[in-house]
Every structure is written in C-alpha cells, then in structure tokens.
Amino acid sequence: MTAFDYTATPMRVRFGAGRLGEIAEEVDRLGLARVLVLSTPGHRQLAVDAAQLLGERAAGVHAGAVMHVPIASVEQARSAALSLRADCSLAIGGGSTIGLAKALALQADLPYLAVPTTYSGSEMTPVWGITQDGRKTTGRDPRVLPASVVYDPQLTESLPISTSVTSGINALAHAVEALYAPDTNPMVSLMAAEGARLIVSSLPAIAAHPRDPEARADALQGSWLCGLCLGGTTMALHHKLCHVLGGSFDLPHAPTHTVVLPHVLAYNAPAALAALAALRSALNAEDPALGLWELAGRLGAPRSLAELGLPHDALGAVVAEVGGNPYPNPRPVDHESLLALLERAWSGAAPTG
Ligand code: NAD
C-alpha cells in the first residue's frame, strides 16, 4: 500500500443557483459585521448588487482589483478597508479579485468570503501572489484561504464562451498535474477525475448554450474540485511554465494554460500511467493530450503561443527561466526536450511526447 498525507481545507462551501442571496446570512454566521466588497473595475455593478444584498453589513465597495495583484492595488484596498472600518472583505469575481482579497488577508489580517465567477479555483488554495517592480512573488499561507465560499452558477452565465473555455481548461490543468503530483493521494485522485470529467463534459454544452444552467453548474462544480486539487498538491512543469509565461512575458493566464497543457501532458504521459488512465476516462479519449488539443480546437480556443503574442525569439529565455528553478515533474526535463515542447506549443502543432 502506498503511504500518503491528506489535509482537508477548513472553509465552508455553499453551492447552488441563486445562493448569492445568502451572503448576508453567511456574514452573520461568521460573526462579521462590516464587509468591504471587492471587484474589478469592469464588474463594479456586480459588487454594488452584492453590497445591496448585504444591507447594513456593507461597509463599502472597492472596484480596484487588477490581474496579478499589483502592490499598489493592495495598498489602495487596504486604505479603503481601514477608512471604512471593514472587518472583512467579500471578493466577487475571478482569480484577479480573489487574489486581492488574499493579499488583504495576508497583509492586513482581513478575513474574506469568496464568490467566484470564473473557473480559476484560486478560492480553494492557500497560494497568494503579489506583483511588485514587474515581478510576481507567490507563497503558500493558510491565512489566505477564505472563511466561506458561495458558488452561484447563475453568476457565470455572463462569462463569454471564449473565457469560459480557457478558464475551464485552466481548471483542468490543476486536475491533470494533481493526478501525477508527488504528493497526490486517493482523495485528490477522486476529486481530480471527477473535476476533469465535469469540466470536459460541460464546456461543449456551454459553447453551444452559454446560459445552460446545468452546464454552468457542472463547470463550476468541476472548478471547485479542480481548485481543491491545486490547493492540496504540488504542481509540476505545466504550472511552472505558465507561471513564467504569465509573470515574465505577460501572457494572459487562462489562455496560456489552454495552449500549454496538451503539450506538457503529452510529454509527461509515459511517466504518469495512472494519471493517464484516469484522464482517458475523463476525456473519453485514448490519447488524452491529443483529445484535449482537439477539444480546444473544436471550442475555438487558442492553440499557439504565437497567437497569444509570444515572440519566437523569447523561447530560449523561457527555457532558461524554467530550467533555473527546480520543480517536481514525473518525467525529467532537459534543455532540448523543453525547447522542443515549447516550439510545438508556439507554433500550434499537435502534441507529441
Ligand atoms: P480574471 O479574474 O482576471 O477574470 C478573467 C476575465 O473574466 C476578466 O476579463 C473578467 O472581467 C472576466 N469575468 C470574470 N467573471 C465574469 C463574469 N461572471 N461575467 C463576465 N465576465 C467575467 O482571471 P481568472 O482567469 O479568473 O484568474 C486569473 C488570475 O488568478 C491570475 O492572476 C492567476 O495567477 C490567479 N490564479 C491564482 C490561483 C491561486 O491559487 N492563487 C489559482 C488560479 C488563478
């Protein structure tokens, strides 16, 4: 029998259509009283609506969340929380907004509730990130886990098809790397297999009917499970590559995951046979890497780093940066194999091991 460790995350999850209406009750249950509602500038109205639902518990709205959590955005939110005497925040939005709430939890000891509207899964992980002087620093700290998460699939019905697809494949990437993580365990494997199945089965339905309530619920439930996998294991080559491509080359987060994942999966497949078996069944494909690449193509998602704006002459620098930092991976990676993988991802070629 294989030995393993498993740590459960302590937060409460409320899941279901219309459950945004329960945020006031959830704030009361937590013994909190003055909520600073956070969003990105583009989703201010969502935050205002949430503040209305909170009534007298709303201390104010701060629509200042920015992708990759620049330190200036954290300082502004922190001073808003201070001047409004907030005792917690509520992040309504995707990984960018949840990232700001995490930074406030870390730097200002402000607990928070998360209401995710994408499939990033950030709300399920103790991983935080803050960008300063062009560098994103990340770390793990249980204090950045939300006190409660309210998943309301109705909020995701407005997510454009293209964002839904790339965000869904971002979630799938967590499941893939959790299945072959050095610290995987039976609970993570179950969550990863079911999370991957839910994402893969719901994305075509969402692309056909973006407001399909069943498909939206399945995708959000899948993202919850995949997020738990991300929070509970150590990620490998795929997440390392995407971190470098996003952090140092400013590529968009979810589309980058979408392009890179089939190539890393194809590369790692011979060294990750149990993961491959689980993914064969979740993706209903004999070759999961090819199946995923074809699915992305059918759903109109980007399939090359070139179309995301990465210049070809940057590939060497990506290899150097990825190679310079150790990370676990089921199959050893050297300069040549990584460059060949990146060449395929850059040009949009089909994945091969
Ligand atoms: P995001 O929050 O920037 O949202 C992506 C896009 O979707 C934005 O344009 C946003 O305006 C739009 N959007 C969000 N909800 C919407 C809705 N309901 N309707 C219409 N449009 C909507 O990005 P993301 O992909 O959710 O998250 C990416 C960020 O999260 C990155 O910075 C990444 O590093 C971070 N992240 C962190 C973790 C972690 O564990 N710490 C995990 C995953 C992602």
User: Would you call 115 helix, strand, or coil by DSSP?
Assistant: strand
Q: Is the CB of 202 under 6 A from ligand 1?
A: no
Residue 324: per-residue pLDDT: 79
Residue 127 CB–ligand 1 contact under 6 Å: yes
In whole angstroms, give the CA distance from residue 275 to residue 179. Answer: 5
| DSSP state letter for 67 | T
CA terminus-to-terminus distance, the chain: 30
DSSP β-bridge partners for residue 13: 149
271 token code pair: 């060294």
Nearest residue by C-alpha to atom 27 in ligand 1: 95
Tens of pLDDT, residues 111-146: 999 999 999 999 999 999 999 987 888 999 999 999
> What pLDDT score was predicted for residue 325?
79
The residue nearest atom 29 of ligand 1, judged by CA position, is: 95
CA of 120 to the centre of ligand 1 (A): 6
Where the chain has pLDDT below 70, the residues are 1
Residue 349 β-bridge partners: none
Decide: helix, strand or coil at residue 178: helix
Q: Does ligand 1 lie within 6 Å of residue 247's CB atom?
A: no
Residue 158, C-beta contacts closer than 8 angstroms, at least 6 positions apart? none
Residue recorded with tokens 């676990």: 328
Which of 96, 99, 103, 66 is CA-nearest to residue 81? 103
Say how many Å lie between the CA of residue 99 and the centre of ligand 1: 9
Cβ–Cβ under 8 Å, residues 222 and 198:
yes
292, 168 contact by CB (below 8 A): no
| C-beta separation of 46 from 39 below 8 A | yes
Considering only CA atoms, which residue is closest to atom 4 of ligand 1? 94
- What's the confidence (pLDDT) of residue 1? 57
Indicate whether residue 118 lines ligand 1 (CB < 6 A). yes
66 Cβ inside 6 Å of ligand 1: no
CA 196 vs. chain centroid, Å, equals 13
Q: Which one-letter DSSP state was computed for residue 351?
A: P
Per-residue pLDDT at 319: 97
Could you tell me how many residues make up the chain? 353
> Does the CB atom of residue 122 touch ligand 1 within 6 A?
yes
pLDDT of 2 reads 83
Which of 163, 243, 257, when mutated, tests ligand 1's pocket best, judged by the most ligand atoms within 8 Å of its CB? 163
Distance 98 CA to ligand 1 centre (A): 8
Q: What is the pLDDT of residue 53?
A: 98
Distances (CA, A) of 22 to 15, 55, 90, 189: 11, 12, 13, 31
How many C-beta atoms lie closer than 10 Å to residue 41's C-beta? 10
pLDDT of res. 75: 98
The answer to whether the beta carbons of residues 104 and 112 sit under 8 Å apart is yes
* 156 CB within 6 A, ligand 1: yes
Distance from residue 130's CA to the centre of ligand 1 (Å): 15
DSSP β-ladder status, 135-140 and 88-93? unpaired
The whole-number pLDDT of residue 133 equals 87
CB 244 within 8 A of CB 321: yes
* Furthest-apart CA atoms within the chain: distance in Å: 60
Say if ligand 1 is within 6 A of residue 171 CB: no
In single-letter form, the type of residue at position 237 comes to L
3-class SS of residue 1: coil
Q: DSSP class of residue 92? A: E
129 lines ligand 1 (CB under 6 A): yes
